[in-house]
């Protein structure tokens, strides 16, 4: 799962609860910046593969529109 924002704070809380030293915020963001494109690319490839699989399943089930485009159901949950 990709998240924006709280990454350093979360790491700091986890390392603190383990009584483990934590790197500085600048060091953390330096390495996060270096790794971000790799994380993004890996996540994109996984999402792309999942979309292709969903499209194949939809076509196998006959869930296509008049142009032959797979119809993929999307279910969401809203927590109020």
Q: CA-CA distance, 37 to 49, in Å (whole number)?
A: 18
Encode pLDDT of 10-55 as tens digits: 889 999 999 999 999 999 989 988 998 998 999 999 999 999 999 9
- φ, ψ (nearest 5 deg) of residue 59: -65, -40
Position 49 scores a pLDDT of 97
The domain locations on the chain are 1-80
With a threshold of 0.75, does the pTM exceed it? no
> Does pLDDT of 69 surpass 80?
yes
End-to-end CA distance of the chain: 22
């Amino acid at each position: 799962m990709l998240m924006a924002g709280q990454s350093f704070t979360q790491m700091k809380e986890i390392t603190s609860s383990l009584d483990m030293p934590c790197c500085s915020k600048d060091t953390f963001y330096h390495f996060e910046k270096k790794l971000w494109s790799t994380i993004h690319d890996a996540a994109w490839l996984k999402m792309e593969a999942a979309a292709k699989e969903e499209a194949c399943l939809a076509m196998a089930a006959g869930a296509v529109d008049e142009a032959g485009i797979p119809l993929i159901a999307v279910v969401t949950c809203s927590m109020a």
